[in-house]
Amino acid sequence: MPVRIEVPKMYKLLIGGKFTRTESERYLVAVNPVTGEKICNYSRASRKDVRNSVVAARTGFNEWNSKTAYERGQILYRLAEMLEGRKEQFAEEIQISSGQNKAKSIKEVTKAIDRIIYYAGFCDKWIQLSGSVNPVQSGYFNFSIPEPTGIVGIILPDTLSFLPLISRTAAVITSGNSCIILSNEKAPLPALTFSEVISTSDFPSGTINIPTGKKSELIPHIAGHFDINAIDYCGNNQEEIKVIKELCSNNVKRFHFMNNTDWYSDLSNENLREIEKFSEIKTVWHTMGM
């Protein structure tokens, strides 16, 4: 009997709610760091794929931000429900792609789900906490109202493969932003499966986009794109930080970076400040009626 050759799964790019092949037709191989065995193939995005992601994210931002805060909270809560139902799958994928033991992998998935619940509850509350009614001269009302920044490029660290992904994505989209996520390069499998969850969730197309590939290739394209409004960088690579800062200065793009973060810390990752990092304040004057 001939030996059967297994067919490895080929993961595509999540752009605009659809799975698309990279225009370059290139791919990378995910490998189990413990055994050296091949896990899967996944697309290696190019500059054009990043541009397509930005176009999709702009459409996604308009739709996501137009939803009520209550509805955004319900959609995030539904995402937590979907991940809860696939907890074992994600734990296994974290284990084989990063080399973590099973107990730590389950802990990471559980903490990620709990973090989504936290931000789901914040969707209809953060504006009251961040906004204000300002004391001005008599005859006027003056309001400061927070609004989302727009499109945020999220560059994740190559440490944990799932919890940083959820932590940063939830913090960014809670206020109504859309995002483009550059996932963990060393262990991409959990992010690839997460993209499949997103595609079948209630998020508007383009709210969350995941173009996978080499950070060295994609970071300059993401940081330098004029229609991306902010960059959320997680890591401590000084060369990458230098490149991103220089490119962000071209259109005065907001840049935020997290270094040596304890991703399991609720104090560091679950607070109003993480939402406010990618929001803008609009001040409105209104005459006071008699």
In one letter, which amino acid is 71? E
**pLDDT tens digits along 22-51:** 988 899 999 999 999 999 999 999 999 999
User: What is the CA 118 to chain-centroid distance, rounded?
Assistant: 16
220, with CB counted inside 10 A (0-12, 13-18, 19+), is middle
Mean pLDDT of the chain: 93
Please indicate, yes or no, if residue 123 is contained in any of the structural domains: yes
Is residue 2 in some structural domain? no
Structure tokens at 200: 């079948």
pLDDT digits (tens, 9 = 90+) for 239-289: 999 999 999 999 999 999 988 889 999 999 999 999 999 999 999 888 876
Q: pLDDT tens-digit profile of 88-141?
A: 999 999 999 999 999 999 999 999 999 999 999 999 999 999 999 888 888 888
Instruction: Look at the chain and report how many structural domains it folds into.
Output: 1
User: pLDDT of 200-250, one tens digit each?
Assistant: 999 999 999 999 999 999 999 999 999 999 999 999 899 999 999 999 999
Residue 135: count other Cβ atoms within 10 Å of its Cβ: 6
Q: How many residues does the chain have?
A: 290
Q: Is residue 1 part of a domain?
A: no
Q: What is the CATH number of the domain that holds 141?
A: 3.40.605.10
What global pTM score does this model have?
0.93
Range of the domain at 240: 10-287
Q: Is residue 105 part of a domain?
A: yes
Q: Which residues contact 265 (CB under 8 A, 6 or more apart)?
A: none
